[in-house]
Amino acid sequence: MTAAGLAAVVLAAALLWNGSSGLAALAGGVAGVLAALSLAVASVRATRSRRRSTSWRWLAAGAVTWVAGAGVRPVAEGTPFVLTFADLLLLVGTVLLAIGCGQTARRRAYGRSLLHYVLGAYISGASLFAVCWVLLLAPAYAGAEEPGTLVLPVLCLLATCAVAPAVLAARSAGRRVGVAALITLAAITAEEFATALGRMDGSGASPLAVLPACAAFLLLSAAPWSGRALVRPPRSTPSALLDGMPLILAGAATVVLVIRVIAGPVQRPVAVLPVVAASVVLVLLAKVFFLALTTASMRGTVESGERRLMHLAESAGDVVLVCDPDGMMREMGPGVEALYGYHPQELVGRSIFDYVHSEDAEAVQAALRAMSDDETHDRQSACRLACRVRAADGTWRPAESVATRHPSEGEDLVLISTRDVSDQVALRNQVAHLTFHDGVTGLPNRAYFEERTREVLARRTGGRTAVVFLDLDGFTGVNDSVGHAAGDHLLSQASRRMRAVLRTGDTLARWGGDEFAVLIESGSPGGAGGSAGSGGSGDAQVAIDLAERLVRAVSSEPFRVADRDIALTASVGVAFADEDITSGDLIRNADVATARAKELGGRRVEVFAAHMHADVVRRLELAADLQRALLAEQFALEYQPVVDLATSRVTAVEALVRWWRGGTFAPPRQFLGAAEDTGLIVPLGEWVLGQACRDVAAWRASSWDIGLSLNLSSRQITAPRFVETVEAALSESGLPPSALTLEVIEEMLVEDAEEIIERLSRLRELGVKLAIDDFGTGYASLALLRRLQVDIIKIDPSFVAGLGRDDALTMLTRTIVGVGHDLGLVVVAEGIECPEQLELLREMGCTRGQGYLVARPMAARGVDTLMPTNLSPLQNTA
């Protein structure tokens, strides 16, 4: 602010001294002061951009200095110096404006070096000076009284040429200020040339010469505050045009000079033009020399980079080659010998398409064409290629390549770096196989089967698509007896048997565990064991026949595993696809049908029916109700007496659980199966054991020698801490172990023999008695009596029901009673319902019995009525 005020004072004094040009000088001074003030204020406010505020301070200082020089110029006129002190101020102001103008650009016009930047500016300035000399300055300079007056305008011209390329190439937000400053420099240069002409011919400077500078300073003062550039230059001048501008100006100067020489002789003195031309030639030679040095350096750098690139690629196991756009190989790296078995010189001059798979050649050709086609605007400089390459041994190996443009000596070549990815492709294929295949059997897995079923249902046009589920009966015991490795071997054998009976178009998959699934597509071609149906009922019969063949394939002969033969059966379910069924529902239906076949004893085929799904839903609802009933204590116990058939004395009671559901008791057959499947049988059994032990212990406390009998399921026995649970129930109730009898059926001892026998044996060592329920209906009754030390056998009610009517059943019952006596076991007959059965059992020597004739199940209060007289129901009914 102080400098601007001082410049205004100096300008006013100059106006009093030189009244002839007062208005012009006043206008220039006011414009310069306004520009200085505007730029100074803008520089204070521009705190976000340090570059912008710095450039505005330079411009403001230049404007103040130039105005001060213009103001004192009238005072300095007539001094005997080439450059007066006013001219020095004008020169300093111009230089400061040029610095500020250059600061507005965010990058230089010439990115090579400062030397190229200076040389270009000199060539441009010298060329423009030569044009001005020929057209304007030469006549006036011939009789000039002050020839040194050209120094200041020439320096201003060089300053303008120095900053012009940077401003024109800039793309920054401050470009409008830079353009305004460049216009100001051009106006100052024009004003100084006009002043120099006036001095040389003695007429003095015209008052109008300062007007362009005034307008330029006004434009500069408004530039920081305008949202848009006041002068609309192009967005950015192409760098190629800026690089060639010095040569263009030099050529223009040459043309002007030639025309002037042709038009007439150049007035003397003529020494200026040779000096200028010689300097321009020398500068151009220097520029060419430095360009040659730079080009050689860049070429060496590029060649060194190419060598390093090839060495790096070959060190990484890649093959590097150079070819033309037609695929003809020009150079070949030595890595090709180790990777593909070819000698490098053997491949040079041959086409790469001789070694690329024919199916991949078209894509490679298109990529090379896209990189070399000059007519397309989207010409690629690099691309990735995937193809198969033939090795020297004739094998096709997958490869990944990166191709880049490689111009060399005016020829457009392509550099290709190729890597063998056989291992990666093999790994990806293996991962994909493992993702959709089972690792044990090699069959497709669940994910593949579900996806395949969706695809088949989506494109079916007719016929009946079916899904068959197969579950191996008794497979759980295989893992427990011979180990999981042997179990996996058995699954592999089973999958091979099933594949042998399937048709070609059928999809066999391992669903999980010991379950397999088969997708039967309508109209599939026939294979081993059958032919395709034509649709409708024919397709349905084909699916059912195939399911039966699967059952026979699994059950036909034992599997040889771990040096032993293991016989298994299969439960199979079949579900057919309806019109709008989804793949998930179709698979679910087949699974439901398989569960139904398993419930019915296995080794059979069940076709899904709608009621099966309803049964499953009811079973789930029943399981939820059971869980709530356990929490709400909705269960109760009833006891069925066991009497001594000889003395009619009640010796024990069998505890039976009842569920009070909806105001009525639900029979055990309605909920015990669901409890077993869901695992709720374990907490329910623990409650029954605890409550029954407490009731019987209370009766025994009244001097009644009575025992307790409980039925157990395999899930209860194999539950964690089963033995500890029984011990805790006996300890808490005070019931002696000898008063407790645990009953199991023979099937449990066959399927889960090892673990169940081990746990029951531990309880027997504590004094708990063991009984085999439903004796005579199992697989190997006598063998079980040898493996497990039992105390009681209970004859199945089916044998008792035939006494007196079926001689075979009567004989079998007599045999069982005799075997029991011979082994020292207590024999209990179940299901006694008529006097004839009771008499025959007594005649056979059966010691104990139970049934509706003896006594019906009763609540604990009913058992209490038997205790005072210790009379049996038989005596009461007699």
The backbone torsions φ and ψ at residue 356, rounded to the nearest 5 degrees and listed phi first, read -100, 140
pLDDT given for residue 182 in this prediction: 74
pLDDT given for residue 626 in this prediction: 84
d(CA 28, CA 376): 55
Answer whether residue 501 shows pLDDT above 80. Answer: yes
Instruction: Find the mean pLDDT for residues 253-262.
Output: 72
Tokens of 51: 């570059």
Tokens of 19: 């009244």
pLDDT given for residue 397 in this prediction: 92
Point out the least confidently predicted range of 82-86, 158-162, 319-323, 379-383.
82-86
Is the pLDDT higher at 399 or at 175?
A: 399
pLDDT given for residue 434 in this prediction: 80
pLDDT given for residue 673 in this prediction: 81
Point out the least confidently predicted range of 35-49, 148-162, 554-568.
35-49
> Which neighbouring-strand residues pair with 741?
709, 769
pLDDT given for residue 313 in this prediction: 58
Point out the least confidently predicted range of 323-337, 440-454, 709-723, 748-762.
748-762
d(CA 840, CA 826): 17
Count CA atoms within 13 Å of residue 252 on its CB side: 17
Answer whether residue 338 shows pLDDT above 60. Answer: yes
Question: Which residues in 711-724 are b (16+ Cβ under 10 Å) and which e?
Answer: bbbbbbbebeebbe
630-877: CATH topology:
TIM Barrel (3.20.20)
Confidence of residue 318 (pLDDT cuts 50, 70, 90): confident
Point out the least confidently predicted range of 96-100, 623-627, 837-841.
96-100
Give this prediction's pTM.
Answer: 0.47
CA distances to 375, 563, 707 from 650, rounded to whole Å, are 110, 51, 9
Pairing of strands 382-390, 650-661: unpaired
Q: What percent of the chain has pLDDT over 90?
A: 21
Point out the least confidently predicted range of 576-590, 600-614, 620-634, 779-793.
779-793
Tokens of 106: 């965010």
Is the pLDDT higher at 101 or at 173?
A: 101
Confidence of residue 212 (pLDDT cuts 50, 70, 90): confident
pLDDT tens by residue, 793-833: 899 898 898 888 888 888 988 988 998 888 889 999 999 98
- Architecture of domain 437-608 in this structure: 2-Layer Sandwich (3.30)
Instruction: Find the mean pLDDT for residues 78-85.
Output: 58
Answer whether residue 579 shows pLDDT above 90. Answer: no
Asked whether 340 and 392 are in contact (CB, 8 A), the reply is yes
- The strand order across the sheet containing 515-520 reads 507-512, 515-520, 466-473, 569-576, 604-607
pLDDT given for residue 110 in this prediction: 44
d(CA 162, CA 123): 10
Q: What percent of the chain has pLDDT over 70?
A: 73
pLDDT tens by residue, 141-173: 655 555 566 777 777 877 777 777 777 766 665
pLDDT given for residue 357 in this prediction: 92
Tokens of 674: 């669901």
Asked whether 101 and 181 are in contact (CB, 8 A), the reply is yes
Tokens of 741: 């009898």
pLDDT given for residue 143 in this prediction: 55
Answer whether residue 850 shows pLDDT above 90. Answer: yes
- For all residues of the chain together, what is the average pLDDT? 78
Closest CA to 476 of 717, 748, 672, 271: 748
Amino acid, res. 505: G
DSSP letters spanning 678-709: HTTHHHHHHHHHHHHHHHHHHHHTTT---EEE
Amino acid, res. 469: F
Closest CA to 211 of 195, 187, 227: 187
Instruction: Find the mean pLDDT for residues 493-515.
Output: 92
Confidence of residue 741 (pLDDT cuts 50, 70, 90): very high
pLDDT tens by residue, 652-665: 999 999 888 877 88
How many beta carbons lie within 10 A of that of residue 698, not counting itself?
16
316-426: CATH topology:
Beta-Lactamase (3.30.450)
Q: Where in the chain is the domain with CATH 3.30.70.270?
A: 437-608
d(CA 756, CA 716): 10
Instruction: Find the mean pLDDT for residues 249-255.
Output: 75
pLDDT tens by residue, 693-733: 999 999 999 888 899 999 998 889 888 899 999 999 999 99
Confidence of residue 432 (pLDDT cuts 50, 70, 90): confident
Answer whether residue 15 shows pLDDT above 50. Answer: no
Q: Where in the chain is the domain with CATH 3.20.20.450?
A: 630-877
d(CA 293, CA 307): 21
